[in-house]
Every structure is written in structure tokens, then in C-alpha cells.
Amino acid sequence: MKRLPGSEDMRAQARKRALEALDRRLADGEGGSDALGGLLSRDPEAAVATADAVMARVGRGTVRGHAGFRAAYVLAAAAALVVVSSLLTLALSGGRDVVEVHFVLAAPEADSVSLAADFNGWSLDTHVLERREDGTWEIVVPLSKGASYRYGFVVDGERWVPDPRSSILLDDGFGGTSSSISL
Amino acid sequence: MDDAEAVRRVLAGDDGAFRVLVDRHGNGLHRFCRARLGNDDDAEDAVQDVLVRAFRSLGRYDPGRSFAAWLFAIAANRVKTRYRARFMELRLAERAQAERSAEEPVLALESGVEFQALDRMAAEELRAAVGTLAADRRVPVELYYFAGLSVAETAAALGLGTEAVKSRLFRARKELASILGETGQPTEPMKGRS
């Protein structure tokens, strides 16, 4: 059996190895390179597991019904976005049986915001909000009077956000809450 | 199937074609994320997060651009926003880990084990050294060296010109040589050899 040199010398060898890896990358030129792949190796089983998880999640991109809503509800390990506020306004259409409801969510760091609700089968694709220049997202939805509706916002296709300004929050049966409006 | 063709197929409804992109870019993404986050589990989570976001944003990808550059622009932003608070403590942890690794005696039964231990230590030293760079040099280093992007792709991902990227990489390489070279030289004869 052989013992390696003392710690200082080992560290010196490690640093030399690190510099050699950088030189190998430079030797590959200005194009792409995998020169550091040998030094910065990745567990192949973890790589496959991650790839499988990605494919499973993208395969759930379109959700239908309440079970689909459950698939869209993900507990974020780290809050990536700051949801400041939302504003719900009603434009009474006077005399008609339909009310145009204006849903707005302030989420300046979001890439996409969808409105998922019981009136669209909890779909992430049916009511996609549009981004405004000030970083808020909005959509106007005509809804019938005389009914109550449950809804929430889905940010970046994976984070469920109930309306923080809604005075009515209901247990959605999956450990979270959804908002409700009555017209 | 190249990246542009894979994206075309995904947008046409073939979600399975996204696996081509996942497999092709996953390792580079992992090296990039691992450089920031300090451990493999967090890096794998970040890789998954970035790829899912990329899938959901594919409609906004410009096929005239390098897909790698577009993908790593997402990665740079996501890692920064999600893990900003951890970065400073991780830099200290990296150095501590490098110290501990250097102090552990290693009994090598075969040369392969020696080199694996040395490679792990070299990786830790490299990450720690890169972590001390200023952000305007660190990110190009992470993209060019760790992720293996070309100069042009690195520039595109960062919204910079290629000459600016080359300049930063050149200065960063000098700085890393100083960090990794000047403090590691033994000042006394090696000890402990049998």
C-alpha cells in the first residue's frame, strides 16, 4: 500500500491539475468543448433521473380538471419570484347576463402567468395572461352573473398563487388554497 | 437531429424530441450549476428547473440563435435569482471542504483511486478559485470553461460582444493562474512517502 504525500503537496498537485484542465479547454479553441467533463464529472444515474424527471414534468404541461390542477401545484423549494399583489375589478355590463372580469397579477420576474379556474377546467393553456410593460399580467374574462367561481394563478407553469387580495380563500383539497369570486 | 430541428419538432407537438436537448445539454448545465451551488443535489434540481423553464418558453426561442446560448442565458438568470443568498456561504464551504480533503490521509491501493481523489480536490480548488472572481469575469468563466460553450455562445448568452468576452476570459485566466499557482507551491521537501 502506498500513502500519498502530505496535505500541502496534495493541494499543490490538485491546483496544478486544475490549471491543466483550464489549459486543455483553451487548447480546444473558441468553439465548444467538453474539456472539463473529466474533472467535473456527474453521476450518470443522477443525470438519467434528472432527465426522466424533466420529461415527466414537460409531459404534464397541459392539465385538465381538478386532478390536473393537482399536477400543476408544486411546492417551491426556494421562492424564485416575488408576487406583489393582484387586483380584481369588475366591469358591470348593465343589463346583460355577462360580467367582464379583469384579472391582474403583479409578477415582474415571471415568464408566464395563467389563470386556472373551475370555469376552464383548471387548464393552464386556456386563459394565459398578457404581460404589460410595468411587469403586471392581465386578462379579461366574461363570466355569467349569479354564480361563484374558484380560481388561481399559475406562474411559470408550476407555481400556484391564490389571489392575495381575495377575501375568500377556499381549501382546494390538495393542501393549498384557491380564491373565489361571486358575481 | 440538431438543436434547431429538435425545437421545431417539440413546437410541432412532439414533446419526446425535447429529450434530445435534455441529454445533449444536461452535463454542461450541471457543471455550470454545480459551480454556483456547491453540491450535486442542488445542481441536479437546478438543471431540472432550467430545462422545464426552457421547455415552457420554447415558443420564444429564436431559431436563428444558438440554442445553447439561449438555454444558458436562462440558466444564468435562474441560478442567480434562486440561489443568490447561498452563494457567499457556499464559497466559504468550498474552501473548508478543500482544506479537509487535503488533510485526510489517503491510502492508495491502486493508481486509479489516487487520481480520483486528486481530481475531486482539483475540482474543489477550481470551483473555489472561480468563486472568488468578480461577477463580470466569473460568469464568462463558468460558461466557457465549465459549461463548455464557445466564445460566441458565451457572448450571446450574456448579451456581450465576442471581444469583450475574450478580454474577460483572458484576464480571468491570469487571475486564476495567480490564485491556483502562487499559494500551492510546497516550501519544504515532500513528506510522508514510503
How much is the ipTM here?
Answer: 0.75
Residue B192 covered by a domain:
no
Residues A154 and A81 in one domain: yes
Residue A2 covered by a domain:
no
What is the pLDDT at residue A101? Answer: 87
Binned at pLDDT 50, 70 and 90, residue A109 comes out as: confident
Mean pLDDT confidence for A1-5? 45
Mean pLDDT confidence for B22-33? 94
Binned at pLDDT 50, 70 and 90, residue A3 comes out as: very low
The size of the A-B interface in CB pairs under 8 A is 180
Task: Decide if B15 touches A, using CB distance below 8 A.
Answer: yes
Residue B63 covered by a domain:
yes
Residue B193 covered by a domain:
no
> Would you tell me which residues 141-180 of chain A have a C-beta closer than 8 angstroms to some C-beta of chain B?
156-158
Rounded to whole angstroms, the Cα distance separating A1 from A101 reads 77
Is B82–A18 a contact, with Cβ atoms under 8 angstroms apart? no
A74 closest CA partner among A52, A57, A55, A59: A57
Nearest beta carbon to residue A7 from set B28, B102, B151: B102
What is the pLDDT at residue A89? Answer: 43
Mean pLDDT confidence for A55-73? 46
pTM: 0.58
Task: Decide if B45 touches A, using CB distance below 8 A.
Answer: yes
> Would you tell me which residues 46-105 of chain A have a C-beta closer than 8 angstroms to some C-beta of chain B?
46-47, 49-51, 53-55, 57-59, 61, 77-78, 80
Residue A47 covered by a domain:
yes
Counted domains in chain B: 1
What is the pLDDT at residue A176? Answer: 57
B37 to chain A: which residues are within 8 Å by CB?
Answer: none
Residue A48 covered by a domain:
yes
Residue A141 covered by a domain:
yes
> What's the domain range around B99?
3-182
What is the pLDDT at residue A37? Answer: 82
What is the CATH number for A139? 2.60.40.10
Residue A107 covered by a domain:
yes
Task: Decide if A140 touches B, using CB distance below 8 A.
Answer: no
More confident residue, A168 or A49: A49
Mean pLDDT confidence for A83-88? 41
The string of DSSP letters for A76-126 reads: -SS-------EEEEEE--SSSSEEEEEEEEE-TT-S-EEEEEGGGTT-SSS
Counted domains in chain A: 2
Residues A175 and A85 in one domain: yes
Among A83-87, A103-107, B89-93, B182-186, name the most confident range.
Answer: A103-107
> What's the domain range around A104?
66-182
Please give the residue of chain B at the shortest CA–CA distance from A51: B22
What is the pLDDT at residue B186? Answer: 40
Residues A30 and A105 in one domain: no
Residue A150 covered by a domain:
yes
pLDDT in tens, B128-146: 899 899 988 999 999 999 9
Residue A1 covered by a domain:
no
Residue A146 covered by a domain:
yes
What is the CATH number for B53? 1.10.1740.10
Residue B190 covered by a domain:
no
Is B125–A15 a contact, with Cβ atoms under 8 angstroms apart? yes
Residues A39 and A118 in one domain: no
What is the pLDDT at residue A70? Answer: 29
B177 to chain A: which residues are within 8 Å by CB?
Answer: 19
Residues A51 and A70 in one domain: no
Residues A71 and A37 in one domain: no
B151 to chain A: which residues are within 8 Å by CB?
Answer: 30
3-state secondary structure of A159: strand
**Domain boundary, last residue among A58, A75, A95:** A58
A8 to chain B: which residues are within 8 Å by CB?
Answer: 102, 186
Residues A115 and A145 in one domain: yes
Nearest beta carbon to residue A58 from set B52, B102, B117: B52
